[in-house]
Amino acid sequence: MSTKLSRRTVLSRGIFSATACIAAPAVVLAQSPRVLNLGFSTPVESDYGVFATKLAQLVKERMGGAIDVKIRCCATIATEDDAFKALQLGTVDAYFISQNNVSPHFPLMDILVLPYIFQSTAHVRKIRDGAVAAELAERLRKATGVHLLAWGAVSYRDFYNSKRPINEVKDMAGLKVRVPKNEVMIQTFRAFGSEPIPLAWSETPAALQTGAVDGSDNGTSVIKSMKFFEFSKHLAVLEHFAGFAPLLASPRFMDRLSPEQQRTFLQCAKEAGQHQIATVESETEDIRKFLGENGMRVTRPNQKSFINAVLPMQDKFVAEKGGDFKGMLDKIRAAA
């Protein structure tokens, strides 16, 4: 584990911008670099930083100085809650935004937020690399103008709290749980028997530290990078949400690139996403081990009681949303 983490640290402290370089014959040329301010809400050592650092490297190698990628971690250019609107306005160039924070602007994204929507890692890969993901990206662009460049790694959300270990769904009863302002996630924790409290991400660390909420859920790497293990002593491996945080770009930035530059930049983004996927898949269990060694009691509940609790909610949600949701759900299930 220490080797992997040191590699990540070296990467994260390494390439922070893709600046002008000597062009090879086949690269895309530009008279002056266009600065791409690439934002995300977590520290640079997080999974987003892995993706962003690799993207900066690839852009530097292949685009001959056409784009200068500036990595802006830690919500310095926007919070995740505000970033999507900023992308539409063109005040932010690119940002990693969790799917649940995309759906208020593009409701069909909620189909991926449904609990236990994926049946296996292989199922995730079929969706991410296939026609369903491509259709969602194109419909997002047409509806909002925002470009989805790459999906990146799926992050299974683990649940953590300061009150008690979780071994089955009844242990969730009465817990005050921070959730994003997302209806699917709110309904999910109600189905688990908890009291969901919608809070912006920027308010979450303080709410956890002060006890305003008892717990929350995040991707495993986020729990580590945000040091939530310092004040939440119970971790349950639920994997109830399979969360994407795709790399999104503003139409204002993309429209400034030539068609050839767009193609090269998009390919760089896709390859950086594949690099992040490989890193995350190899490190998730190592991070859970780290959390257990740093004060968290890790439980691995039988997921059956959790799945049974949310199935009626899932069916009800899709029925209420209508045809688009039903059609997309059918495509996802057919790929299982």
DSSP helix/strand/coil, 13? coil
Mean pLDDT estimate for the chain? 90
Whether the predicted pLDDT of 4 surpasses 60: no
Residue 73 to residue 59: CA distance in whole angstroms: 18
Class of the 2-155+243-287 domain?
alpha beta
Cβ–Cβ under 8 Å, residues 152 and 46: no
| Nearest-angstrom CA–CA distance, 54 and 18 | 10
- What confidence score (pLDDT) does residue 19 get? 39
Which of 95, 102, 53 minimizes the C-alpha distance to 76?
A: 95
Average pLDDT over residues 22-33: 51
Q: What is the pLDDT of residues 93-109, one digit of tens each?
A: 999 999 989 999 999 99
Query: Taking 90 as the threshold, does the pLDDT of residue 269 lie above it?
Result: yes
> How confident is the model over 32-48, as a mean pLDDT?
94
Tokens found for residue 39: 């934002």
More confident residue, 30 or 292: 292
Q: Do domains 2-155+243-287 and 157-241+294-334 have the same CATH topology?
A: yes
Q: Is the pLDDT score of 7 beyond 80?
A: no
CATH number 3.40.190.170 given to 157-241+294-334: yes
The vertex-85 CA angle with 189 and 260, nearest 5°, equals 115
Q: What's residue 3's pLDDT?
A: 41
Contact (CB, 8 A) for 187 and 277: no
- Phi, psi angles (nearest 5°) of residue 282: -85, -20
The end-to-end CA distance of the chain, in Å, is 32
Q: Which residue has the higher pLDDT, 50 or 25?
A: 50
**How many Å apart are CA 179 and CA 185, to the nearest integer?**
7
Q: What tens digit of pLDDT does each residue of 164-213 get?
A: 999 999 999 999 999 998 888 999 999 999 999 999 999 999 999 999 99
Tell me: pLDDT of 294 over 50.
Answer: yes
Structure confidence at residue 31 (pLDDT):
58
**Is the pLDDT at 29 greater than 90, yes or no?**
no
Percent of the chain with pLDDT over 90: 79
Contact 335, 129 (CB under 8 A): no
Closest by Cα among 13, 257, 278 to 149: 257
315 pLDDT tier (thresholds 50, 70, 90): confident
Q: What mean pLDDT do residues 277-290 have?
A: 93
d(CA 336, CA 320): 23
Q: What share of the chain in percent tops pLDDT 70?
A: 91
Among the residues of the chain, which ranges form H helices? 2-12, 47-62, 80-89, 99-102, 121-128, 131-144, 183-191, 204-210, 220-225, 251-254, 259-293, 304-321, 323-334
- Confidence check: pLDDT of 111 > 90: yes
Instruction: Name residues whose C-beta falls within 8 Å of residue 155's C-beta, 6 or more positions apart in sequence.
Output: 47, 218, 219, 220, 221, 222, 242, 243, 244, 245, 280
* Domain boundaries defined on the chain: 2-155+243-287, 157-241+294-334
Element (H, E) at 300: none
Q: Which of 7-11, 149-153, 224-228, 303-307 has the lowest mean pLDDT?
A: 7-11
* Helix, strand, or coil (residue 243): strand
The residue type of 335 is A
Q: Residue 237 has what pLDDT?
A: 96
